[in-house]
Amino acid sequence: MNIDLEAMTLAELRDLQKQVGRQIETYEARQRQKALDAAKEAAGQYGFSLKDLVGDARMPKPAIAPKYADPDDKTLTWSGRGRKPRWVQARLDEGRSLDDLAI
């Protein structure tokens, strides 16, 4: 297939881009399903289900224990991961350190 992209309008190019994106997504979904079906069949040949072999793929992440708490309101906690909450930044701006907020 040979498409003359130079002759296409911007609207036509954007439409083509959307169509290609959808085709890529459906292709990947079909391939993923084929791989899953093949894996299930292979596990079944040995008397197992795929879940028996790989477990539940949707295991929740364990909760991270908080490391810091607001001295004025102990319900405000932070694990020390990710962006600093506003209350932490406010305490740091007051001149306190993270050691002062440690649990």
Measured distance CA(45)–CA(23) in Å, rounded: 33
Element holding 69 (H helix, E strand): strand 68-69
Q: What is the pLDDT tens value at each position of the chain, 103 positions in all?
A: 788 999 999 999 999 999 999 999 999 999 999 999 999 999 999 999 988 888 766 767 788 899 999 988 989 999 999 999 999 999 999 999 999 999 9
